[in-house]
Chains A and B, each alone.
Chain A
């Protein structure tokens, strides 16, 4: 079994899975839970991509 993912795909998958897990572990009604999952996912991606761009000057 072999899985080849790009950096973005790996980050996206990770963010989705962790956000869903955090959402379900919190004690919230269904709609709030969904909003929390989406908010958490957005933050993961924003911070992940943001840190990538911050590190960009140092990679060259």
Chain B
């Protein structure tokens, strides 16, 4: 005699257990994504994706160093317009490297020359790239093929 397949108590228990695991996995993935934002590459390192971790860290670091070296503008929260706010959000995407860039720019930005303009773009690209990497780490932690 075959067991009845339907909404039995065992099926409900199994479903509840799956929901708990999914919820824990989701929280873990969020934590990994956050870690990846704060420290470039950390999200991948926590999942033992060493190649990607090193690549993410080095590429974000390179963009920050080059951008700060070219005296690009590092936007702050006190921007007066939408463009400055967007720039701030982009720069903040680099996580802790935002403060590294701030520390490196001892002479402040100089956007009167092309160098400074390029530097501003490099710094923004560092932030956006790090956000992409953090999102990638989050998706990988959720089990999505990445």
Contact = CB atoms under 8 A, between A and B. Distances in A.
Interface size grouping (class) on chain A: 10 to 19
Given A14-B125, A21-B56, A3 B66 contact: yes
A25 B125 contact: no
Contacts of B66: 3, 5, 13, 17
A3 B70 contact: yes
Contacts of B55: 20-21, 23-25
Contacts of B115: 3-5
A7 interface: yes
A25 B104 contact: no
Contacts of A5: 66, 70, 115, 118
Interface residues of B, number: 28
Contacts of B59: 17-18, 20-21, 24
Given A17-B59, A18-B129, A2 B71 contact: yes
B51 A24 contact: yes
Contacts of B114: 7
10 contacts: A3-B70, A7-B114, A10-B70, A14-B63, A14-B122, A14-B125, A17-B62, A18-B125, A21-B59, A24-B55
Interface of B: 51-52, 55-56, 59-60, 62-63, 66, 68-71, 104, 106-107, 114-115, 118, 121-122, 125, 129, 132-133, 136, 145-146
Interface of A: 1-5, 7, 10, 13-14, 17-18, 20-21, 23-25, 27
